[in-house]
Amino acid sequence: MTNNPIYTFPAIYLATMLMLAGSGLFTTYLGLRLTADGVSEMIIGSLTTAYYAGLVVGAKIAHRLIANFGHIRSYVACAGLATIATLAYVMIDNLTVWIALRFVLGIVMMNQYTVLESWLNEQAENNQRGLAFAGYMIATDLGLMLGQGYLQQVPILDYKPLIMIAMLFAACLIPIAMTRRVHPAKIAAAPLEIGFFWSKVPQALAMIFLVGIMVGSFYGLSAVYASKMGLDTSNASLFVMVCIAAGFLSQWPMGWLSDHFNRPKLIRINALLFAVCVIPLWGFFDLSTTLMMSCGFLGGIFLFTFYPLAIAFANDNVEQSKRVALSALLLATYGIGASIGPMLIGVLMEYFKPGAYYIASSIVATLIAICVRPNKVKYAEGEPVQHVVVTRTVSTMGATLDPRIDEVPEELVVEAPANIGRSDGAEDPSNNDKESAPPHEGDSSSEPKQ
């Protein structure tokens, strides 16, 4: 029983679920609220772009915050800032300020992801890391679906959802503040080695960039698309929730297929099936709500399996010693794509029609099928790596959380101070009121995961 991550890391999972419920609700609320106010899709997309840009920029800032103040203190401070930024939306009705606040929220949320992921990674045993990672992503999915569920049950776009979001951001403090687990040890970030990996895995890097465009655009614009297609607030949030649920349910079956069939061919099939399944959502057809939900569900099955397929595909072509650095670069590339996608596709939706969202997504999926060429793949170690179940990347800091990496290379590890905590997992009472020994600036791993 004690080896089950659910019982080992309940505080981390609960904090993750509460935080993602607030984050998912926030993104959908802003899309629906601004759409109802007649704001252009380009501006709506720019809010999501600002958020993902904040995540990317926040990677470096998170290092410094944790190095200077420790994990729990930086987590508490950033949760407070997230709550303040959310409540500022109630008091300030200015789109420029809202975009700036989304950028700030992206920065502080990156710190939260960094703390949670490095903590989980450092204390998960090698033989339970896969389950620990799966539990983390399940908590992420449940949180995102709960956020959509709130709007589905309370479809009123006034200030009250913002109050609920602020409450969720504040509530995620409680599990971390009350946990008795020790702080994570210090792990230095691996260098990106862009030139090396571009020569080794250009197809995977191109794919992960395109996946970032698609998934980032989904979170920023799918609710806008549903609203523009005639769904009310309740059904628009339900549409988003159905798509996320499809991705959640498809992970294990797709993982099995990935481990038993040719992975590059599976990626191409996955991309082409997505492009075909969402054709009814292009806006040329008069669809019922049920048919829209069904097509969205089918699209979600393939959309949210692109990322884990891309990660496994990249690792197939890189030796074990380089996989920590590879994960860092893949996640940064994903974040850049997720920053560009919402504004780019938002412009297309504004100047053409809402269906341009799924038309553009189909085109991007087709590009994935084109750029992945099975006859050009050469495995680095003779056999493909094991597929890892993960629905999406929520930050750019999860490289060493990857369960394929059984241990971090020795040169990347800095030993934690001996008095950081007791070996039995409880905190040393003598350290409760002392500043934690500051980690190295590169503390945490290299994950966007909204």
Residue 366 lies in a domain: yes
> Are the CB atoms for 313 and 204 separated by under 8 Å?
yes
Alpha-carbon span 96 to 102, nearest angstrom: 10
Q: How many residues does this entry show for the chain?
A: 450
Query: How far is residue 242's CA from residue 237's CA, in Å, rounded to a whole number?
Result: 9
Count Cβ atoms below 10 Å from residue 220 Cβ, excluding itself.
Answer: 31
Long-range contacts of 175-180 (CB under 8 A, 24+ apart): 175/10, 175/11, 175/12, 175/14, 175/15, 175/18, 176/11, 176/12, 176/15, 176/72, 176/75, 176/76, 176/115, 177/72, 177/76, 178/11, 179/11, 179/12, 180/425, 180/426, 180/427
Asked if 167 and 38 count as a contact pair (C-beta separation under 8 A), the reply is: no
- For residue 430, being part of any structural domain is answered with no
Cα four-point dihedral sign 152, 89, 75, 111: positive
**Does some domain include residue 159?**
yes
Residue 441 forms part of a structural domain: no
Q: How many CB atoms lie within 10 A of CB 189?
A: 22
Q: Is the residue at 30 inside a domain?
A: yes
Count helices and strands (H / E) in the chain: 16, 2
- Residue 432 domain-assigned (yes or no): no
CATH of the domain at 187: 1.20.1250.20
Q: From CA 234, how far away is CA 231, in angstroms rounded?
A: 8
Burial of residue 72 (CB within 10 Å: 0-12, 13-18, 19+) is middle
Asked whether residue 440 is assigned to any structural domain, the reply reads no
Kindly state the tokens that stand for 377. 């793949």
pTM greater than the 0.85 cutoff: no
Beta strands in 139-262 (DSSP E): 186-187
Three-state secondary structure of 315-353: HHCCCHHHHHHHHHHHHHHHHHHHHHHHHHHHHHHHHCC
Question: 195-202, long-range: CB within 8 Å, 24+ apart, which pairs?
Answer: 196/322, 197/318, 197/322, 197/325, 197/326, 197/329, 200/317, 200/318, 200/380, 201/314, 201/317, 201/318, 201/326
Q: Could you give the angle at the alpha carbon of 113 between the alpha carbons of 45 and 43, nearest 5°? A: 10
Ranges of the chain with pLDDT below 50: 1, 187, 382, 391-450
Residue whose entry in the numeric block shows the structure tokens 């170690």: 381
* Separation of alpha carbons 236 and 218, rounded Å: 13
pLDDT at site 424: 40
The one-letter code for the residue type at 267 is: I
Residue at 345 is within a domain: yes
- The number of folded domains in the chain is 1
pLDDT at 140: 87
DSSP string, 374-431: GGG---SSSSPPPP---S----S--GGG-TT-SS--GGGEEPPPGGG--TTSSPPGGG
Contact between 12 and 135 (Cβ < 8 Å)? no
The domain of 85 spans: 10-424
Provide the pLDDT for residue 233: 92
